[in-house]
Each structure stands twice: as structure tokens, then as C-alpha cells.
Structure 1
Amino acid sequence: MPDLAYYASLPRTRGAAAALLLDDLGRVLLVKPTYKEGWFLPGGVIEADESPLAACVRECQEELGLVPRLDGLVCVDWGAPRDGVDSVNVFVFGGAITGRELGAIELPADELSDHVLVAPEKVPELAPPHIARRMEPSLRALAEGRAIYLEDGREQDFAPPSPSPAP
């Protein structure tokens, strides 16, 4: 039987999930929230007992009115605590959005005011730094068919240490 008091005493972490959706020209879909500045990937907070993938699918349905094809996880970015906000684990899932899906997007007026497709190099001009910082590594991982791990937007080097020179 699990020690419920022990598990209840463990720290809890915050999480978010987002969809990095590209059209057939390689442009990135961004959405503009009504309640904060800047443009963001579709996505949001992972709810209690919800998986990152389920959160991404739910958020796309809520924000876009559709569930796009997701091809898999492309990035996990751990964000350090700052400005009184706890640390957060952000899961980015890569996928595609078709012209038909773009035409069917229905934004919730109380949450999002607009959507746009932009060339990847234009994302830093529109998105806040904590969003823009993971764009290039996420796009690279998507193109390579793998996932990448970041800490505050910086890639982590998992290469084994170099052997020490022999005495």
C-alpha cells in the first residue's frame, strides 16, 4: 500500500503543453491571446491528472476548434522559477496544419483575438522571449524526427565527458 502522506508531501510541478504546427510552406501557426501581450503557440496549462499530450489536444480543440495531426514530442523545456512564478515543464508537440484546417479555425473570442502563419525566423519578433527561445531547437528537432531537452531554452549537452589524459 502506498504511503499517501509521503506522496502528499512531495513537491508538485507546473506544466504546460503546446503545439508547434507548420503549414506546407514551413510557416508556424501562432495565436494572439486577449489577456496577455505577444503571440504564442496554441496550448496551455496541463490540468490535474492530465497527460501533456491530452492537454495539447484539449487546448488545440479549445483554442482552434480542431485537433490537428500531431507527429510527436519535439521539445521539453524546463523553465526556472522567476518573478514569483514557480518552475514549469513545457512539452511541445510537433505537427502539421492543412489549408482546410486553417480555414476551419474558430478562435474563442474571450481568449484569442487572432491567428497568423509566420516564417520561423519571424517568431522572435512576435513572441515573448520565453516562447521564442525554444523555437529554433524545436524546429530542428521536428525536422530531425526527435525530441530535444532544454533548460530555460538552452540545449543540454549529454555527451560523455572527454577521457582524462593518461599520466
Structure 2
Amino acid sequence: MSGDEVADEPLYVRDPEAWREQLAEGNRFQARKRVASKILIRDEQDRLLLVDPVYKPFWDLPGGMAEANEPPHRAARRELNEEVGLLVEMGELLSVEWVPPREPWDDLLMFVFDGGVVTSQKARELRPRDPELRAIGWYTFEQAIGLLREDVGERTRRALWALEENTFVYRYGG
């Protein structure tokens, strides 16, 4: 092989370790996205499970921030268990939303998953387990809209639509 042929080879062929170092260097400077996951849980009366966090003025869907290198579906499942002690089989992804920066936070990716339907008996047994929660409750969508921040209400509406239509939604811009 002539010198010209070697120069035409990609860096990952010529020097795999140098290629790995180049990728690692690029990774150090790339943007990091915060990831949050919510889970849509319904009871047999088609009411939604909402949580009342002590650190927010509005109610919310169960869920929260993903930990480092945690997949979004596992974050939703973990958060649900931590918050109310409920373990569910994760259903389909209903929506992904890019949420723009909002003081003091950077932007984030918000996932909403289908958590299925729990029996009325199970719904009555659930209690807040996390000190971050003041209360939990079961609400119709119409009732929930009055408790949720406007953007969370819209996110919930889109997730319910996706569930009904057996699809998923991507939204950006908050």
C-alpha cells in the first residue's frame, strides 16, 4: 500500500485508539439534555392518577427526572414506584416533547408513557410514599385540567389522544 492509500483510510481504520479519543473529546463538549418521564395511569372509571408535589404550585402526572444514563421508560417506572409504591408493566410511548429553556432550567426532553389501568381496589390503596408528595388523587380529565399547569394539561391531553388513536405525538416549543 502506498502512502497515499494510507492517508485516504478513515482515522478509525488507521488508528482506532485515536478515533476513540477524538470521539470522547467531542462528547465532552456536546450539549447534555435533561430527560423527564411521566406515566399516564388510569383507574377503571377512566380517571387519571395525579400527584401533588410539595415543591410545585400545581398537580402533575406521576414521574420525574431520569438519572444519569437511565432510559426514560425505566425512569418513569422507578419514579412511579418511589412516589406511590406502584409497579406496572410499561405500556407504549405516548408522547415526546422538547421543552424549551424556562428560567432557571435548561431545555429538556419530556416522555409520557402509558401505564395502563389499575383496578378500583388498587387505586383506593395507593398513598404517597415520597416526602416530595403532599397528596395523590384520581381525577377525570376535565377535573385534572383545573389542577394541572396549562402546559402539563396540554401534554396530558395529547397523551390521551395518542392512547385513543394508538399512536404517539412529538411536540416542540413548550
Q: TM-score, normalised by structure 2?
A: 0.82
Which amino acid is the alignment partner of residue 57 of structure 1? R
Give the C-alpha shift of residue 104 in structure 1.
Answer: 3.1
Give the C-alpha shift of residue 130 in structure 1.
Answer: 2.4
Q: Is the counterpart of residue 104 in structure 1 residue 125 in structure 2? A: yes
Deviates more, 1:127-136 or 1:45-54: 127-136
- Unmatched tracts of structure 1, length 5 or more: 154-167
Which amino acid is the alignment partner of residue 77 of structure 1? E
Q: What are the Cα deviations for residues 108-164 of structure 1, in whole angstroms up to 9, with x where unaligned?
A: 2521111111111222210112211212111010111211111135xxxxxxxxxxx
Which amino acid is the alignment partner of residue 32 of structure 2? R
Residues 37 and 152 from structure 1, CA distance in 2 versus in 1: closer, same or farther, beyond 3 angstroms? same
Aligned pair count reads: 153
One of 52, 60, 84 as aligned partner of 2:80:
60
Q: What are the Cα deviations for residues 33-52 of structure 1, in whole angstroms up to 9, with x where unaligned?
A: 11221111000001101000
Deviating above 3 A after TM superposition, structure 1's stretches of 4 or more consecutive aligned residues are none
SS at match of 1:74: strand
Q: Which has the higher helix share?
A: 2
Q: TM-score, normalised by structure 1?
A: 0.85
SS at match of 2:97: strand
CA RMSD after TM alignment: 1.5
Q: Is the counterpart of residue 135 in structure 1 residue 156 in structure 2? A: yes
CA contact (8 A) 1:18 1:93 kept: yes
Give the C-alpha shift of residue 25 in structure 1.
Answer: 1.8
Residues 29 and 122 from structure 1, CA distance in 2 versus in 1: closer, same or farther, beyond 3 angstroms? same
Deviates more, 1:133-142 or 1:48-57: 133-142
- Quote the sequence identity (%): 33
Q: Which protein is bigger by CA-based radius of gyration?
A: 2
Give the C-alpha shift of residue 97 in structure 1.
Answer: 2.2
